[in-house]
Structure 1
Amino acid sequence: MANGFFITFEGGEGAGKSTQIRRFAQRLEAGGREVVVTREPGGSPGAEAVRHVLLSGAAEPFGPKTEAILFSAARADHVDTVIRPAVEAGKVVLCDRYMDSSRVYQGVTGNLDPAFMQGLEALAIDGMLPDLTIILDIDPRLGLTRANQRRGSDVADRFEKETLAIHRARRDAFLAIARAEPDRCAVVNASQDVERTAQGIWQAVQECLPELAQADRVGGDV
């Protein structure tokens, strides 16, 4: 059985995580890998129910601490029912957001106590750390412009609607995580076009997870 891998994609609004995950999944599948694409909040039936509460803003009046607890509960279910079983079965799990988003959105810009956040994280992930975290870095002003274009006439969600200053603080926080954990995190410039960003992601995979990148020898470019 091939080794399973767990790769997370992080970054601010409009960084293109969903697009890049789809492209990356196609490339891995072309190389013979079985891939599971998932997301947070959500990814499992229980977690998807919590996703609606969070992104609709229904939990916002209760404050960032309550939101952090809800994210943690959703993550624990996601890990137990989707992520860990898939990795143990030899699959490659690609997740749109994970623990770093909680560190940034609730911990840093929600001004929550670091010890509280660390305790929640430990309970939720139960040792399920990513093999690699791709941080798609983009200037928040450009990212929000892209997010607005993508959304069209739909209403901005709980987190998209916040001020530019908050989005800038989140960018800084993601980059700080990358500096603190260089063995796990790779920063990719997401202000480039889709193709160049995809190439940057693949280069990071080749450098950080060469055993997974061997799929390129079979599947080629997608």
Structure 2
Amino acid sequence: MNGLFITFEGGEGAGKTTVLRAIKDKLEKEGCTVTSTREPGGSVIAEKIRQIILDVAHTEMDERTEALLYAAARRQHLVETVLPELEKGNLVLCDRFIDSSLVYQGVARGIGVEEVLNMNLFATAGLMPSLTLYFDLDPKVGLSRISDNDGRENNRLDQEKLDFHYRVREAYQSLVKKDPERIQTINAEESLDQVIEEAWVKIRSFLNMDAEKR
């Protein structure tokens, strides 16, 4: 595959979805062919699985059921959306991917990182992003942003207790330490314009390095 796969990660309310849209616009203005997508979701079947996973009424969902549903949605999303675009040589920007499962289900839910990683490597056939931007933010700030945003989807994860979201943040920070070359941190507590600019600089730098390698 000649395309590039870039993922956007972060806790609830970190602003990664808004930044992704802005980066897509910037890349398209420079002549890039860009597909933006999200997880869970990004294809017809995967979006239906998303509705099941994030339904606020499904509080009884077992942790392993949740992890398996995420992996199933991820597989279908790859087959229908991501892989075809990468095979065309296009750039794919994805709001969440495998790292989300590692931190939310592997750590915050307590299933275990290795267990969730193996499950997802099976689902993805080993595909990993070329670059991941992690938007780091204090969970209190992120959840406050959500409560102030009437237009944002209210999902089951938003209802978790604050300590759950702190475990998510710590798990992301641990992933960054293990894979600092792929996962690059963005300070999401800055203004939106500053966050977009920092993300843009990191992506431009990555694309330039990739072009030199080719």
Instruction: Give the TM bin, normalised by the shorter chain.
Output: over 0.9
| Alignment check: 8 A CA contact 1:28 1:35 kept | yes
| Alignment check: 8 A CA contact 2:35 2:93 kept | yes
- Asked if 1:139 is matched to 2:138, the reply is yes
Once the two structures are TM-superposed, the CA of residue 156 in structure 1 deviates from its matched residue by 3.4
**Mapped partners of 2:7, 2:114: distance in 1:** 23
Q: What TM-score do the two structures reach when normalised by structure 1?
A: 0.89
Matches within 5 A, 1:91-106: 91-106=90-105
Q: Alignment partner for residue 206 of structure 1, among 204, 207, 211?
A: 204
| Alignment check: 8 A CA contact 2:71 2:120 kept | yes
Distance 1:90 1:62, change over 3 A: same
Residues 167-204 of structure 1: CA distance to partner in whole angstroms, max 9, x if unpaired? 11111111110110011100000111111001111222
Could you say which residue in structure 2 is the equivalent of 1:90?
Answer: 89
Once the two structures are TM-superposed, the CA of residue 81 in structure 1 deviates from its matched residue by 1.2
**Percent same amino acid among aligned pairs?**
38
Could you say which residue in structure 2 is the equivalent of 1:169?
Answer: 167
Could you say which residue in structure 2 is the equivalent of 1:112?
Answer: 111
1:128 match: secondary structure: coil
| Alignment check: 8 A CA contact 1:59 1:66 kept | no
Residues 45-91 of structure 1: CA distance to partner in whole angstroms, max 9, x if unpaired? 11000000011045541311000000000000011111111011011
Once the two structures are TM-superposed, the CA of residue 127 in structure 1 deviates from its matched residue by 2.2
Paired residue type of 2:161: T
1:209 match: secondary structure: helix
Could you say which residue in structure 1 is the equivalent of 2:80?
Answer: 81
- Asked if 1:27 is matched to 2:3, the reply is no
Q: Alignment partner for residue 187 of structure 1, among 176, 185, 196?
A: 185
Paired residue type of 1:201: A
| Alignment check: 8 A CA contact 2:86 2:92 kept | yes
| Alignment check: 8 A CA contact 1:99 1:121 kept | yes
| Alignment check: 8 A CA contact 2:63 2:111 kept | yes
| Alignment check: 8 A CA contact 1:56 1:157 kept | yes
**Mapped partners of 1:39, 1:24: distance in 2:** 14
| Alignment check: 8 A CA contact 1:21 1:94 kept | yes
| Alignment check: 8 A CA contact 2:105 2:112 kept | no
Matches within 5 A, 1:28-67: 28-57=27-56, 59-67=58-66
Q: What TM-score do the two structures reach when normalised by structure 2?
A: 0.93
Paired residue type of 2:53: L
Unaligned runs of 5+ in 2: none
1:159 match: secondary structure: helix
| Alignment check: 8 A CA contact 1:79 1:128 kept | no
Paired residue type of 1:205: I
Name which of structure 1's ranges 50-59 and 22-31 shifts more when overlaid on structure 2: 50-59
Paired residue type of 2:139: P
Aligned length: 212
